[in-house]
Amino acid sequence: MKRVPFDPSRARGGLFDPAKDAAQAAKVAAPGDPAAPSAAVPPPITVSEASNIIRRAVESAGRQRIVGEVSNFTHREHWYFTVKDDKSQLECVMWASANGRSTVTPSNGMQVILTGDPTHWGPRGRTQLVVTRIERVGEGSLQQRYEELCRTLREQGYFDDARKRPLPDYPRAIAVITSGTGAALQDVLRTARLRAPFVRILVVDVPVQGDAAAPAVARAIDAVDRRADELGIDAIIVTRGGGSLEDLWAFNERIVADAVFRATTPIVAAIGHESDTTIIELVADKRASTPTAAVMALLPDSEGMTQQTDHLQDRLQFLIRRRIHELRRTVEAHARHTMFRSPSAVIDVYRAALLRSVARLALAARARVNDTRHRLADARTRFERHRPAARHAAARERLLGLDARLHGAARRSIYDLRGQLAGADRQLRLLGPGETLARGWSLTFAADGTLIRSAADARPGQEIESRLADGTVRSRVISPGVSAEPTLFEPPAG
Amino acid sequence: MSKQPRKSVSKPPADPALDAEVAAMSYEEAIEELEAIIDRMEKGETVLEDSLREYARGDALVRRCRQVLDSAEQRIEAISGQQLDADAKPAQVDAPF
């Protein structure tokens, strides 16, 4: 809001007497005039004095509860941030003594409700809000967020009975994820000691409320599950005592639900009182209304176990006794048998049978020997016949015989062949020209070498060659002529 | 049949190997095996030597179960969530804190 500048001429009364003012103004306007008397206008105040006035005015507004959006948040030990709406902003500070107790840590953009005392700080000339409490203003109330997350997780099957694991019958060791300083832990330890003191307990200390709780609980569940084999843990209890919805809120966070969903170790969750049902209890393998109930559900009753062991021991002893008794009766029954009363009678029967068998054996043996002897002689004879030396001699004779025949046959053949050859030779001579020529015949050739068979082929004056047995005669034809008369060798007719 | 005085079954001879083997078993494992032995004996299929051996084993298992139950000392260990995640070893504590 813009202020209208102060117009002294329009002010009336009190200090604002125009006459006095005029005089005063005249005096002031004359610099360096020490003789001018001072009027009743108060001297100017210092800046610090002004600051104090302003501070008192600001502080008199008293404690405020302010809703707005956080920005420029920084923190070392103390928290410094600005809270604003669309037109204004206020600087805030939350001292370490206060912010350490805060369940809410602001972040830029967060909608918050601040409770604080306004003040004005002279050294910097800043009006600030000293915050004593911060509350979150979420997208909806916590109840709404709870219902929405329940819906989501139910749809995704986080609450399904089918995925829930059975609790071990006789866990050897369990992990208890809880606050180390809480009453819930004491309840768990006491109940466990009474019920089954031989079950080892691993206490995992985590924050169970505040912003750090949800991630810490989730991480503890993951770590126990991951190291379950190494640490020998068979089941987990997650528990804390009663509180407001804000106090228990960590156990409604998605990050915790996911850790329980992922885990392979069975988990029992007991958060708050009977009437509180947090999301972890819906996802866990078993929900218990109190920490004590969680222990009762998980740990076996040592009384019952003792009775069970006693019962099994009795049964075992009964059975072995019965077995021995049965066997003893069987043995006694056998002992009453005739075999033990007159043992020699039993033996006599066998002895007689044995003697008979011996006799038959001797007979059979002799017959066998004779039979074998005959067969041996027989075999020897046959063997002699086939003795190698005899067979060798026979073979040699045969060989010699064959050899002689071979030679004889060969000689005869050659003789025959010679004869044949001579015969063939004579025939050849007879047929050949040599004998014929020797008998006086001659062959007549023309000058060109052709044979003249017929006298008609010869011409008078033709040169001819006659081959005789021992040489050739060259001559000239005088008068050839075919003879009508028979040849030399035809017998004359008549 | 006349009633004969029940003879108590004498304790089977000590067998350190058997005891050592059984000592490593959990209550659950011991009980399961004990019940199995009793089942077999009830069916009566074993020869005498086997029956006696089974009985000795069953006896050792019973003693193991009692041993677990008799350990009345509650063993408690503690560790912070952060240290657990960092793979540190839990520390033994004497009394609940």
A363-396: pLDDT as tens digits = 999 999 999 999 999 999 888 877 777 778 888 8
Contacts of A223 in chain B (CB under 8 A): 81, 84-85
- Residue B7's pLDDT is 47
- Over residues B5-9, the mean pLDDT reads 50
pLDDT of amino acid B15:
80
Is residue A205 a part of any domain in this protein? yes
Which pair of structure tokens corresponds to residue A241?
């005592």
The answer on A243 and A298 residing in a single domain is: yes
Nearest chain A residue to B8 by CA distance is: A321
Q: Kindly report the nearest CA distance between residue A323 and chain B, in angstroms.
A: 8
Rg (CA), chain B: 21
pLDDT of residue B44: 73
* Residue A308 with chain B: CB contacts under 8 Å: 31
Q: What pLDDT score does A332 carry? A: 86
Q: Return the structure tokens found at A274.
A: 């009977």
B46 neighbors B54 (Cβ within 8 angstroms): yes
Cα distance between residue A240 and residue A177, in whole Å? 9
Backbone angles phi, psi at A233, to 5 degrees: -90, 130
Separation CA A297–CA A291 (nearest Å): 10
Residue A284 shares a structural domain with residue A183:
yes
The CATH number of the domain holding residue A60 is 2.40.50.140
Instruction: Indicate if the pLDDT at residue B8 is higher than 60.
Output: no
Whether A121 is in a domain gets the answer yes
A253: nearest Cα among A294, A214, A284, A223: A214
Instruction: Give chain A's residues under pLDDT 50.
Output: 139, 494
Kindly state whether residue A231 falls inside one of the protein's structural domains. Answer: yes
Contact between chains at A206 and B80 (C-beta distance less than 8 A): yes
Q: Is residue A253 assigned to a domain?
A: yes
- A177 shares a domain with A129: no
| Residues from chain B contacting residue A324 (CB–CB below 8 Å) | 9, 48
Domain membership flag for residue A164? no
SS3 state at A472: strand
Residue with tokens 């392979």: A264
Residue A349 domain-assigned (yes or no): no
Convert the pLDDT of each residue in B26-69 to its tens digit: 899 999 999 999 998 888 766 778 888 889 999 999 999 999 88
Residues ≥6 apart with Cβ < 8 Å to B82 = A216, A219
Chain B residues touching chain A at CB-CB below 8 Å = 6-7, 9, 26-28, 31, 34-35, 37-38, 41-42, 44, 48, 51-52, 55, 58-59, 62, 65-66, 68-69, 71-82, 84-85, 87, 90, 93, 96-97
- Torsional class of A14: left (φ above 0), alpha (ψ -120 to 50), beta (otherwise): left
The per-residue pLDDT for A487 is 55
pLDDT at B14 over 70: yes
Cβ atoms A45, A55 nearer than 8 A: no
**For A221, nearest residue in chain B (alpha carbons):** B81
A333 vs A340: CA distance, rounded Å: 11
Q: Which residues in chain A are contacts of B63 at CB distance < 8 A?
A: none
What residues form DSSP beta bridges with A71?
A82
Query: A279 and A176 in one domain?
Result: yes
Domain housing A287: 172-302
pLDDT of residue B61: 94
Average pLDDT of chain B, as a whole number: 82
Q: Is A29 exposed, middle or buried (0-12, 13-18, 19+ CB in 10 A)?
A: exposed
Q: A443 near A466, Cβ under 8 Å?
A: yes
| C-beta neighbour count of A431 within 10 angstroms | 10
**Among residues A421, A152, A442, which one has the least CA distance to residue A279?**
A152
Whole-number pLDDT of residue A87: 92
ipTM for this model: 0.79
Q: How far is CA B20 from CA A483, B51, B64, in A?
A: 152, 21, 10
Same domain as A204, residue A97: no
Across the interface, of A302, A313, A320, the residue whose CB is closest to B62 is A313
Q: Are A210 and A286 contained in the same domain?
A: yes
**CB contact (8 A) between residue A219 and residue B27:** no
Number of domains in chain A: 3
What's the rounded Cα separation, in Å, for the pair A433 and A438? 8
Domain end marker among A302, A326, A341: A302
Instruction: Give B25 to chain A, closest Cα distance, Å.
Output: 11
Q: Which of the residues B22, B26, B27, B46 would you substitute to probe the A interface, choosing the one with the greatest number of A C-beta atoms within 10 Å?
A: B27
**Rounded CA gap, A453 and A458, in Å?**
9
The residues facing B77 across adjacent strands are A202, B92
Is A210 found in the same domain as A122? no
In this structure, are A107 and A214 located in the same domain? Answer: no
The answer as to whether A452 is a domain residue is yes
- Asked if residue A415 belongs to a domain, the reply is no
Which strands, in side-by-side order, build the sheet including A463-468?
A: A443-446, A463-468, A471-476
In whole angstroms, give the CA distance from residue A199 to residue A427: 139
Does the predicted model carry a pTM greater than 0.90?
A: no
Q: How far is CA A203 from the centre of its chain?
A: 34
Can you list the positions of beta strands (E) in A5-146? Answer: 64-75, 79-84, 89-94, 111-121, 126-136
Among B35, B91, B37, B75, smallest CA distance to A169 is for: B35
Residue A192 shares a structural domain with residue A260: yes
Q: What is the CATH number of the domain that holds A231?
A: 3.40.50.261
DSSP one-letter code for A23: H
